[in-house]
Structure formats: C-alpha cells, structure tokens
Chain A
Amino acid sequence: MSTKSKSINTKTDSNHDERLKKVSKLKLLLNRPELGALGGAILVFIFFGIVAGDTGMFSAYGMLNFLDVSANLGIIAIAAAMLMIGGEFDLSIGSMIGFAGICIAIPAIYWGWPLWMSIVFAFSMAVLVGYFNGILVVKTGLPSFIVTLAMLFILRGATLALTRLITGRTQVPGLRVLIENDPVAWIFATDTFKWLFTWLGSMKLIALRTDGTPLATGIPPSVIWFIFLAIVTTWILMKTRYGNWIFASGGDKIGANNVGVPVGRVKISLFIGTAVAATIFATIQVLDAGSADTMRGTLKELEAIAAAVVGGCLLTGGYGSAIGAAFGAIIFGTVSMGIFYTDVDTDWFKVFLGAMMLIAVIFNNYIRRKVTESK
C-alpha cells in the first residue's frame, strides 16, 4: 500500500527528534525494570563493605563463596524470570532439582550407565517435565500456579518413593569417582581460570593454604553458567523475535494470539526452560557434592521467584528482565553469605528476604502504573 506522507507532526528520523532532548538518560534508565535490583545490589555491597570489609568476605575466597551461592540461585531465577515475563509461574523448580539429581545418580551408580548418559537422561526428563507442565497449562487454561503446585508434590514424592524403592535410602553418594575422564561432566564440574588463581597465589596476592596452593582455586562452574545464561537470555529478550513473543504472550495472550504470536508454543518452551535450568542447577550441585539428595532444592522455587520479582518482573507478566533477576539473585546470595561475616544472627536472613520482596513488589507496582498511565 503506497501512502503519501502528509501532515507529519513527528520527524520520521527517530534519532533526531528534537522533543527527545528533554528525556534525560536518567529517566530512560528509570524506566528499565532491572534498575531497582541494580540499585539494591550496589547498596548491599556498600553495606557489607562497611560492616564486613575487614573480615575476609571480600577476599578472593570469600567473594567466590558468595558468588557461587548467587550464581546457583541466579541460574534458576533467570529461567523463572523468563517464564514470569511470559505470564506464568513454575512452582515445581525446587522439586525438579531433586528429581534431576536422582535422575543422574541412580542410573550412574545403580544401573552402571556412564555419567554422561545419566546427565543426558536427566536433561531429557527435564524437557519432558517442562513440556508436560506447559501443555497442561496451555491446553486446560488453568492457572500455572495450581498446575505446577501439583507438580511440586508429584515430583518430590516420586523422587523420594523411587529412590527409596531402588536404593533403600534417600541419598545416593559415590559420584565423585565417575567425574574424571567423563566427556560431559566437566561442563558442570570444572573450575576455570585456575592459572589466574595460581599466578595470583604465587604473587602472594591472595590467601594460600599451608601447602602453598591458593585457597581459592578457580571460578566455579556455577558462575560461568550464570554469566552465560544472563547474557543469552538478555539477548533473547531484547534482540530476537522470540523475545518479543515472550513479552507479548505475558502481556496479553489473546491479543498476541490474534496477531499471530504462537502463544502456546512460547509458554511451553519457557516451562521447558525452567525445568532445564533446574537440571543445570542440580547437575552442578550433584557433581560438586558427589552425591544426590532427594530433598535437594526444597523451597528453591520460591527463592527463584523472589529474585525474579526483586529483579523487576511483574507477577502479572509482560514486564521484567533477565538481567534484573540476575541482580536479584546476587542480592540474595550476597546477603545470605555476608550475614555470616557480621554479628547478625543468620536467622534474620529470611526476614531480609521477605522485606526485600515486599519493597520490590511495591516499587514494581509503582513503575507499572507509571509506564501504563495515559497522558
């Protein structure tokens, strides 16, 4: 359709609209969903810098410690955030962590499978569970809250029952010896940048053990996964067609459907995403600990959702950011570890977690009103 351009009030070159000058960089930044979490993370670092600056929390070893905790939470928080932007919840993340751990350990220890095959098996199960969650929510139109709450119990129960049935106990140890020479396990079990830490140790820049090796030996795999996922998901959300579909599906699923967005497929893929993220979390932890525990990951789904909310995700969907959830996870991880370096009783951590979430929800609500209010 050829249309003549007449009565143009706005300059078509959006880069040089003179009215845009008045919108400062700061205001643009204020409209970003992750701003609150970024600010919160900076505050948390300043706080611990003052309170616990001289305690070893910010030594190489201490930092890797709280980064590891943050990263583990971050891996599932990012996936939870993507799903929340897509307008759904997944309460079965924690149970999926326990289930995935068992899916790795039992075949590897009891059935004699090579470790890599058990890991592939666990990820296949994750795709199945995610697909099942997704198809159930999409086909029945039931709230994902209920569907995945059911899955929370089913998966945890099945994990316990099957493990006890096959092994007679609730823990499966003995995985550590299998990691070496496995073609896949290293992806989830290798500390990286070891040379850097060895060099830093030899220069006496970081703390050493009595035998002369550095206390912090390398960047844990969780941190690498965390950074990788944060970058990839942010890229997907901001730069790809699929990212636009995620926002659209969460913002208004009927409208999105009417203009040709495959809402069902988008949602199912996001449910698979949370289950797979839970399995990445589980694999890293199981290989690190050398054993699988049926209760692993309990309540993690709520922490992941809390981090996503602190990161700027709206509970109603259609708004949020993956990088925000990453900052949310860093806040929780840093506080949960940092609290050990202060005189504060660690019991207070949960109080902090809850308070943080409340503040975030109120803040997000205010932002949403600002974004959507009419002129």
Chain B
Amino acid sequence: MPDYLVQFNNISKFFGKVIALKDVTMKLRKGEIMCLLGDNGAGKSTLIKTLAGVHKPDEGEIIVDGQKITFDSPKDALDIGIATVYQDLALVSLMSVTRNFFMGREPMKGPPFFKTFDIEKANKIAAERMGQIGIDVRDPSQAVGTMSGGERQCLAISRAIYFGAKVLILDEPTSALGVHQASVVLKYIVKAASQGLAVILITHNVHHAYPVGNSFTVLNRGKSLGTYEKKDITREKLLSMMAGGEELDKLEVELKEMNRLSAQ
C-alpha cells in the first residue's frame, strides 16, 4: 500500500515476562493526524519509544515509504525522518531560543579546524521559523525559560520540522497547558500536517484530540482497541473506550445503589 507514508504493523514489545505491547497496528498517510489515546499505563510511552527507535520491537514491522525498516537507535529513526518531541521537549531553559533551536545541529562557518558556530545565521533562522508560527520572539538570544509553555512546545515542534521530520510523534503536547495555550499548539499541529507531515499525537485528552485528529487509535493495557476514522466514532464513544467504559458503567450502577441506600 504505497499511499501510506508510514506503517507500524503488529508491533509487540516484551520486557521479560511483561507484555508491554501486543499487536499494535497504525498506518498514516501524508498530512494525516492520528491520535493515540490511552489512559495512564496503557503502554503509550513504550509505544512511542518503540516508534522512536529507543526500544526495538520484538515482533512486527515498520514500513516507511513502502520499505521495511529497522532502527538500532533514535538517530536511525531521526535520519529516516521520524522525529519525536517528548514531554520534556529537550529544551534547556537557561539557554537562548537560538541555541536551543540548533542544539546538537549547529550551523557552522569558517575554515576547517577553525569552524565556528554561525550564531548570526542561527538567530535569523530561529526568529524566522518562530515568526512563521506567529510566535513573537523579540530577541532570539533570550532564554527559553522566559517563554510560555505553549511557545516552548511550538519551538520544539518547529525545530523537528526544520530538521527534516516527515513523521512527527508528539508526546502529550498539551497536557501541561492551559486552554488558550493548548489551542495555539493544536492549531500549529494542524498547520504542520497540512504541509504534508504525518503526525502521531499522543494524548489522554479526548477534547484536545477529537477536533484535530483524522483517525484515532485507542490503547488499553498494551493492546490496540482498534483504529477509527473520525466519521466512524463520536467523542463520547472514544471517551468511554479510553476509560474502560464498562468499569465506569459499573461504577455508575454502584453509586446509584449507594445513593438509594443512603436515601432510605
């Protein structure tokens, strides 16, 4: 199926006797946002790390652009264009916007052996990139610590895109943000997808995921409960699947019973 940019087929990961992931399948087209939903302990972190090349899957295959691929390290994944923005964002708050943007991949100038970090060029690109997403970086040499949470998230995403990401994996990008900040970040994610990236958005917040996602995969206790196109599923259904709907239903019955007893 060449129309998929990236496919993760039947991925399984075991840690000793613990089955962390079992037969998880996800397929993404260009420009698509897939939301990976799951409660705490559902295996989201393990799945991200497997997709990002930190863990090697014990079963299953990863297919990028129609070719089967194995990763030995996060760098391999990155080279192929699978970039992960973790919750900690890999930003150093004491360092400037520019120095963070180019951390580990600094543009250089000058003759061999005397190559220096081309800070002017870096400043210019960083300010330009942040400007494109509507973030007002008055001074790219200001410390990242002075930026808001949403701005930091956008900086991390923008950096991944600048360095050639084709598939963007975002780990809980909105979990630490207020409503306004979260909407800024979500808007930016949609924009990134519209430019041809495939985005995997990991979250436990259905209200953030539902408006932006094209498809939804729900993870529960290491297994996929299936992938649904947006037209095939409602927000409420997703919510109840995620929380383990039956358990909540049971709780509701129990509560009713308690109320009835205490009313007597």
Top 7 nearest A-B pairs (CB, nearest first) are A372-B145, A251-B92, A255-B90, A260-B104, A8-B131, A261-B104, A259-B104
B143 touches A10 (CB 8 A): no
- Known contacts: A256-B92, A374-B147. The answer to whether A243 contacts B117 by CB under 8 A is yes
Report A-chain residues with C-beta under 8 Å of the C-beta of B115: 240-241
A149 within 8 A of B: no
Q: In chain A, what residue has the closest Cβ to B108?
A: A241
A347 within 8 A of B: no
A240 touches B94 (CB 8 A): no
A244 touches B103 (CB 8 A): yes
B10-18, B25-33, B132-140, B237-245: which lies at the A interface? B132-140
Q: Which positions 124-156 of chain B face chain A at CB distance < 8 Å?
A: 124, 127-128, 130-132, 134-140, 143, 145-149
A373 touches B104 (CB 8 A): no
A254 within 8 A of B: yes
- Complex Cα distance, B137 from A148, in Å, reads 41
B95-133 interface mask toward A, CB cutoff 8 Å, 1 = contact, 0 = none? 100010011111010000001110100011001101110
- Known contacts: A12-B128, A20-B138, A251-B94. The answer to whether A375 contacts B78 by CB under 8 A is no
A349-369 interface mask toward B, CB cutoff 8 Å, 1 = contact, 0 = none? 000000000000000000010
Chief secondary structure at chain B's binding surface: loop
B60 within 8 A of A: no
19 more contacts with CB within 8 A, not counting A13-B124, A256-B92, A256-B104, are A5-B128, A5-B131, A9-B131, A9-B135, A10-B138, A12-B128, A14-B124, A17-B138, A239-B117, A239-B119, A243-B117, A244-B106, A245-B103, A248-B92, A251-B95, A254-B88, A255-B89, A259-B159, A261-B104
A140 within 8 A of B: no
- Complex Cα distance, B133 from A243, in Å, reads 29
B161 within 8 A of A: yes
A247 touches B132 (CB 8 A): no
- Complex Cα distance, B143 from A368, in Å, reads 10
Give the most central of A17, A20, A251: most B CB within 10 Å.
A251
- Known contacts: A3-B195, A14-B127, A374-B146. The answer to whether A19 contacts B93 by CB under 8 A is no
Report B-chain residues with C-beta under 8 Å of the C-beta of A244: 99, 102-103, 106, 117
Q: In chain A, what residue has the closest Cβ to B165?
A: A1
Our pick among B84, B88, B119, B145 for the contact of A371 (Cβ within 8 Å) is B145
A139 within 8 A of B: no
B140 touches A14 (CB 8 A): yes
Our pick among A1, A13, A248 for the contact of B95 (Cβ within 8 Å) is A248
15 contacts between A and B (CB under 8 A): A5-B132, A10-B130, A14-B140, A20-B139, A241-B106, A244-B102, A247-B95, A247-B99, A248-B99, A255-B91, A260-B78, A260-B105, A371-B94, A372-B145, A374-B149
B146 touches A6 (CB 8 A): no
Q: In chain A, what residue has the closest Cβ to B124?
A: A14
A165 within 8 A of B: no
A7 touches B95 (CB 8 A): no
A23 touches B139 (CB 8 A): yes
Q: How many chain B residues have a CB neighbour from A under 8 Å?
A: 50
Report A-chain residues with C-beta under 8 Å of the C-beta of B161: 1
Q: In chain A, what residue has the closest Cβ to B90?
A: A255
- Known contacts: A9-B135, A20-B138. The answer to whether A372 contacts B104 by CB under 8 A is no
Report A-chain residues with C-beta under 8 Å of the C-beta of B104: 245, 248, 256, 259-261
CB distance from A64 to the nearest CB of B (A): 33
Our pick among B84, B88, B108 for the contact of A252 (Cβ within 8 Å) is B88
- Complex Cα distance, B89 from A19, in Å, reads 28
- Complex Cα distance, B160 from A289, in Å, reads 57
A319 within 8 A of B: yes
A258 within 8 A of B: yes
Give the most central of B102, B103, B139: most A CB within 10 Å.
B103
A34-78 interface mask toward B, CB cutoff 8 Å, 1 = contact, 0 = none? 000000000000000000000000000000000000000000000
Report A-chain residues with C-beta under 8 Å of the C-beta of B162: 1
B132 touches A318 (CB 8 A): no
Q: In chain A, what residue has the closest Cβ to B86?
A: A258
B138 touches A318 (CB 8 A): no
Our pick among B130, B132, B149 for the contact of A6 (Cβ within 8 Å) is B132
B146 touches A372 (CB 8 A): yes
- Complex Cα distance, B147 from A373, in Å, reads 8
CB distance from B166 to the nearest CB of A (A): 9
- Complex Cα distance, B116 from A8, in Å, reads 30
CB distance from A181 to the nearest CB of B (A): 32
- Complex Cα distance, B108 from A251, in Å, reads 22
A239 touches B116 (CB 8 A): yes
- Complex Cα distance, B183 from A115, in Å, reads 69
- Complex Cα distance, B86 from A239, in Å, reads 28
B94 touches A247 (CB 8 A): yes
A252 touches B92 (CB 8 A): yes
B207 within 8 A of A: no
CB distance from A314 to the nearest CB of B (A): 8
B103 touches A9 (CB 8 A): no
Q: In chain A, what residue has the closest Cβ to B140?
A: A14
